[in-house]
A and B are shown apart, each in its own frame.
Chain A
């Protein structure tokens, strides 16, 4: 089991957001977590990434058998966990390439590997950038500096492709993308599909799932997973919305 979330309770500022999440993700799988606004999807993604503003009030998370919640954010990343941010922050003055290189080297160091060769690294970046159809100007710019919403999301996927995480959680990476950008992002996600890795897509809409076929779909609402199923559940949600699930949960 790559990721096992058991009865996870999380509160923010005294308010309970997650009320007992259970989720198991195996290597090689793609999961989609869907749900209405305010259901706790982003909270789940952020807590797993190690955000300190959230308080875990109960439950556990294991990642390859390790207690994920005991690790600080930077160690989670080095262990092979990746969060694609819903709103990637701009960091003027910190170069994109430098960040990627430092991130890759941090991961390599944790794995007992030597630092990446500068020349090979640049070749790798260029290859991945080409794959993601990103412009050369990216190389000289600050992290996400002046990027459009779509460029920021593409940059998240680029980082993911360079870091090759074991588990990637992509938080609404599809929102705000036009159809071409959505295809490119999907291509990036699909290229990471591998028997040794897993991807969790957090999304509002079914559209992304037309391009990245999930093995399992979960509906998160009110801080709980109300229903899980296969890809057909996403289609059903697209047609019927979330209300029928919420009603049946109350009942």
Chain B
């Protein structure tokens, strides 16, 4: 057993019992049997966790609300100046009481629910069949100390921002925030999840979000990963969609030293639609590994995946997107467009589209390309007097632009654009461009 897993197990034994112990025990036990993933595991081939495995982690100290270092604007960033209600989790714990929300959307602290009505949480914690692919989720199930259950109903379009603030205190602390989202049939919501960092020490955030969309429900889900330069984040998103539901997902990778995101989407009901867009920014020595498995499990389901990755410095970006069309999912329609742009000779981008089709009468298209700046476009801009740095930034921004253009939340889009620009070469010249 690795040092890291041993430290997690020790934390597990020391944690106070709650109404979820049966499920937590099962998860921890299974994880101990399996061990944490290593680069020998197919889906972890490109991400070396050796340093992580050797780390002895402690549970993040839970600070009182007054002691948290969450900046005042932690939530203002994506929330349109506070117009979108927000909930702040500091090191995986709810910072304040849940805000007053309009009718039709409710949030509960998982910690409180675990004490009061554990069955409402427990039904989301059952062991999945493919546990070996979900080991970090198992760890999250065993160790999450708090999180949110978000329930959306009614016909109004609800918006909510969840800010995850890690206040690493210099030790190798680990947090395991858990978010569970349920949209009732025909309900609509916009959800913004924002992961950020206020500390400076090494930290591990092992986040897990589960989303269930009822029949006809519609969700626009922004997930912005903007942790500090030394942070490690391993994130799992499970999405299950019932008939005719639609989800538009934005995964924005802007921070951290190591970021791994794993999407597992199951289009369980006929006519379900998933649009998954990712903007992956490799900067400095960052390592971004974005894995997605989209399973078409019902007829006439549609998925659209587009990934735009850029890498500068010595960064590395991996995008591994798999589409599975299950038997019986006739008329499934999937498209994958994975594109990378290398901005330095020492950066690396790997795009891996994969298809696994178990039925006839489907339409599956995929394309993957990685290249450098387009020379024709670059020269055209120079020939108009634009300087080289600006020309490069413009072309990078244009490359990312079609994903940004689809965002319907204007304020979130502007915030994300602003954050993206700061990570492009020659950032300040682009302000005018926005």
Contact = CB atoms under 8 A, between A and B. Distances in A.
Interface of A: 49-52, 72-74, 76-78, 82-83, 85, 88-89, 91-94, 98-99, 101-103, 106-107, 110, 142-143, 159, 163
Contacts of B433: 98, 102
Contacts of A89: 374, 376-377, 380
A82 B383 CA distance: 7
B407 to A, nearest CB: 14
Interface in B361-378: 374, 376-377
B382 interface: yes
Contacts of B381: 91, 94, 99
B377 A103 contact: no
Given A91-B380, A102-B390, 19 more contacts: A51-B379, A72-B382, A73-B382, A74-B383, A77-B383, A78-B385, A85-B383, A91-B398, A92-B398, A92-B401, A93-B401, A94-B398, A98-B432, A99-B386, A101-B432, A103-B384, A103-B386, A106-B385, A163-B384
Contact of B397 (A93, A101, A106): A93
B382 A77 contact: yes
Interface residues of B, number: 25
B395 interface: yes
Contacts of B383: 49-50, 73-74, 76-77, 82-83, 85
A99 B397 CA distance: 13
Contacts of B397: 93-94
Secondary structure type dominating chain B contacts: helix
B402 interface: yes
B395 A99 contact: no
Interface string B383-412: 111111011001101111110000000000
Contacts of A99: 381, 384, 386
Nearest to A115: B432
A74 B385 contact: yes
A230 to B, nearest CB: 30
A77 B385 contact: yes
B387 A106 contact: yes
Contacts of B401: 92-93
Given A74-B388, A102-B386, A93 B376 contact: no
Nearest to A90: B377
Contact of A74 (B377, B382, B394, B395): B382
Nearest to A77: B385
A73 B398 contact: no
A52 B379 CA distance: 9
B331 to A, nearest CB: 31
Given A51-B379, A102-B390, A102-B432, A93 B384 contact: no
